[in-house]
Amino acid sequence: MSELIVHHHQQTTLAIDPSDGMVNASLLVKRFSGRNPVEFLMLDDTQPTLASLAENNGKPLASHWQDGRLRFSRRPEFLRELTAAGIMRQKPGTVDSHKAAAPGVAGNGVRDFVPGLWAHSDLAAGLARWAECRGESWRPSPLAEFVEQVLAEQAGGKASTQKGTPESAAEAFAGLVNAATLQNLRTMDQLLIDGGLSLSARQQTLHARLEQGAKRESERQ
């Protein structure tokens, strides 16, 4: 593993391995009690991204992993396949522990950012949003915005190494609005995508628009 690139956002540490761009996912969500990056990898909503990454790496995932019950019943096998596909890797040790300082150097040692589950950088912002917003993806996520910005800078201004259509912000509201409203949100989302806004920023904008609409509706009554 190369010398890590480390950034800090409030109490959160973002560690990046410059050799392959992977992010220490365990470290990223450490301060969010009860949040384990493996849970994020197991989510139905994460599967399209995992499948796309594996395909891009030339190691497509077996189609049966789209079955959530199968993923959970055979979790170790699923995680091994993600590792083989270059999507994650596990480094042994205690997350955010300390390692001994160099000989002759006083103190309790230095923080060790290597142990933990490392994940593909294209998963990092989504993982941060999931951890910070407790699964409510429409909520603002300063951490996700920070991760997106750092990774974009690392990639030379490109927000993501993954090719294809940007993730829809409108779909986060699919179970909350009717079909006509959802279609309007999709149209607005495309305009925001064309304007270069990140997923988090688009979700915040759409949520604000829904709140404005609800307020106007209540005022009419």
Spatial contact of 148 and 125, defined as CB atoms under 8 Å apart: yes
Parts of the chain with a pLDDT under 50:
158-163
Q: Quick one: residue 115, left, alpha or beta (phi over 0 = left, psi -120 to 50 = alpha)?
A: beta
Tokens linked to 93: 């040790």
Among 127, 142, 157, the domain boundary falls at: 142
* Whole-number Å distance between alpha carbons of 68 and 63: 11
* Whole-number Å distance between alpha carbons of 49 and 40: 12
Does residue 152 lie within any of the structural domains? no
Task: Tell me: do 9 and 117 sit in the same domain.
Answer: yes
Task: Tell me: do 111 and 31 sit in the same domain.
Answer: yes
Tokens linked to 109: 């040692």
Task: Tell me: do 81 and 169 sit in the same domain.
Answer: no
Spatial contact of 86 and 120, defined as CB atoms under 8 Å apart: yes
Alpha helices in 104-168 (DSSP H): 124-132, 142-154
Q: Which of 200, 120, 132, 194 is nearest to 160 (CA)?
A: 120
Give me the DSSP letters along 5-16: EEEEETTEEEEE
Which residues lie closer than 8 Å to 124 by C-beta, 6 or more apart? 14, 23, 25, 28, 147, 151
Domain count, the chain: 2
Residue 91 phi/psi, 5-degree rounding, is -110, 120
Q: What is the pLDDT of residue 141?
A: 85
Task: Tell me: do 53 and 91 sit in the same domain.
Answer: yes
Tokens linked to 85: 């596909």
Task: Tell me: do 112 and 175 sit in the same domain.
Answer: no
Give me the DSSP letters along 33-86: TT--HHHHHHSGGGHHHHHHHHHHTT-PPPGGGG-HHHHHHTHHHHHHHHHHTT
Q: What is the pLDDT of residue 138?
A: 67
Domain holding 84, by residue range, is 5-142
Q: Considering the entire predicted model, what is its pTM?
A: 0.70
Q: Which of 159, 212, 145 is nearest to 185 (CA)?
A: 212
Task: Tell me: do 189 and 136 sit in the same domain.
Answer: no
Does residue 192 lie within any of the structural domains? yes
Where b means 16+ CB within 10 Å and e means fewer, 87-126 reads bbbebeeebbeeeeeeeeeeeeeeebbbbbbbbbbbbbbb
